[in-house]
Amino acid sequence: MGADLYIGSPELNSSDDSLYFRDPYNCSSIMRQLGYSWWNLDDAIGVITRADDTGYGVLDLPEIAEFLKVLKNTPLLPINEEWLAENHGEGTVDEWNQDFKESYNELINFLERALSMKTAIYTSL
């Protein structure tokens, strides 16, 4: 399970990686690592996701811009051996830190792409 985000229609864009972002609900979640939760975006960062008539949550352009602003101002802190042991992570601290950095950059790029396309993001959380 995880958070699925789509630029534009989920039905049309699920096969296009540049229009899709997924964040798992486990220790490798970038949102969790940043101290946020997909389930409480409105409480955590002032972004309100509303359900449309399809049942998907929707982030409109102002909400995407606010989300992006908050993420860019949230430091991605490196993990350490203690975190790795507590979260039963496999691999090295360096590998995990690299993975989190890549996920962070992918999420930023995804949000920037939606803004440049002037297209809402649909969410399945």
Task: Give whole-number Cα distances, 33 to 36, 43, 86, 87, 119, in Å.
Answer: 7, 17, 13, 12, 27
Whole-number Å distance between alpha carbons of 3 and 38: 7
Please state at what angle helix 93-117 crosses helix 61-72, rounded to 10 degrees.
Answer: 150
CA 73, 103, 92 angle in degrees (round to 5)? Answer: 110
Span 57-100, pLDDT tens digits: 888 899 899 999 999 999 999 999 999 999 877 889 999 999 99
Instruction: For the chain, give the mean pLDDT.
Output: 86
What band does 45 get if pLDDT is binned at 50, 70 and 90? Answer: low
Instruction: Return the pLDDT at 111.
Output: 96
Instruction: Return the pLDDT at 47.
Output: 65
Residue 118 confidence (pLDDT) above 60: yes
Q: What is the pTM of this model?
A: 0.87
**3-class SS letters over 95-107:** HHHHHHHHHHHHH
